[in-house]
Amino acid sequence: MGAQGDGIPVLAEPPDFGQGDYRSALVLVTNACNLTCPHCFVFRDETPHDPRDKLRDATLLHQLRVLRDRHNIKSMLFMGGEPMIRRNLVLTAMDLFEQSSIVTNGTYGIPSVPGHLVTVSLDGPPEYNDQVRGRDVFDKVRDAIFARDPGDGTTVILQMTITRDNAPHLEEYVRHVADWPVDGIAFTFYVPSSDDRSVFVWKDLKERDAVIRRLLKLKRQFPQIKANVGALELMFSDVCLESTGTQGENCLLKSTLPLYVGENGRLERTFCCYGNNVDCTRCGAYAVFNGAYHRKFAA
């Protein structure tokens, strides 16, 4: 078996994550990012995020194949850092899974991946977005969205992470993007760290309830908003712990395998998709509540 310049064998086997099945997984194909969004969970101290990519394309592809077969993984979310920094790797790796998706900041263009989903992040209307994501990022993303062929078979949705800080701009943001040629406008809410006292976190969950109500109202006006009313209702402060638990014990997203890249390019499983330092009691991950909604009504 050949070795890379850094000593990692090209076909190094992935770590042992046990024998269980995981229908879904996510992988950070790089910890590098061209933006420095202050709310980002990837760059929290407790979560692995060494920006030097130590896993070569061939090694990561091999490990993803092995993990797919070992854990019966059907769906893979490619993220980072900024996954489009390793565009060629991602485009090849997406074909390894029955369902693949990528979440990107959109500044490297929108990839054409027929049959797959591309989620493009924005944090609010132009002025606010650019305070968080950087100068001219909103226009860059808009240009990339309008430049793509909307009939190429790729599903493209926008996603805003709602925080206490950007919540006042919610309605203005929706008006800005309502007529963009995308397949939907999605929202998720901020996932705080355990000791989070930043401007992004609500003082208490009742304060967040008011924002959820505004989103429900917007959804009635804009059908392009891809939010499930029942899932949003499970986020209200009086019931949200039933979907999360205090330590993630009720969280359906815990059945996703989160693959972060740690020391020496070794894949590491973190506490959850949002890394190693999270406060489940204040978690706003839409996927958690959407999963709980489907569990409740499938029963």
Q: List interacting residues with ligand SF4 (CB under 6 A).
A: 33, 35-37, 40, 42, 80-82, 105, 191, 244, 248, 251, 253-254, 272-274, 278, 280, 283, 285, 288
Task: Kindly state the smallest distance separating residue 56's Cβ from ligand SAM, in Å.
Answer: 21
104 binds, among ligand SAM, ligand SF4, none (CB under 5 to 8 A by kind): ligand SAM
- Rounded to the nearest 10°, the torsion over CA 280, 171, 213, 199 is 40
Q: Which of 30, 121, 243, 270 binds ligand SAM (CB under 6 A)?
A: 121
Q: Which of residues 74-113 bind ligand SAM (CB under 6 A)?
A: 79-80, 82, 103-105
145 binds, among ligand SAM, ligand SF4, none (CB under 5 to 8 A by kind): none
Radius of gyration of the CA atoms of the chain, in A: 19
Q: Which of residues 20-39 bind ligand SAM (CB under 6 A)?
A: 33, 39
Dihedral sign computed on CA atoms, order 169, 109, 107, 186? positive
* Cβ contacts of 197 within 8 Å, gap of 6 or more: none
Note the Cα 230 to chain centre separation in Å. 21
Nearer to ligand SAM, 73 or 84 (CB): 84
Does an H or E element contain 215, and which? helix 205-221
Long-range CB pairs of 209-212, under 8 A, 24+ apart, other chains included: 209/236, 209/237, 211/162, 211/167, 211/170, 212/236
- Kindly determine how many residues on this chain lie close enough to bind ligand SAM according to the rule CB under 6 A: 17
CA separation for the pair 101, 79 (Å, rounded):
9
Q: Which of 12, 14, 27, 41 binds ligand SAM (CB under 6 A)?
A: 41
CA separation for the pair 19, 45 (Å, rounded):
29
Nearer to ligand SAM, 14 or 83 (CB): 83
Nearer to ligand SAM, 63 or 107 (CB): 107
Q: Which residues bind ligand SAM (CB under 6 A)?
A: 33, 39-42, 79-80, 82, 103-105, 121, 159, 161, 188, 190-191
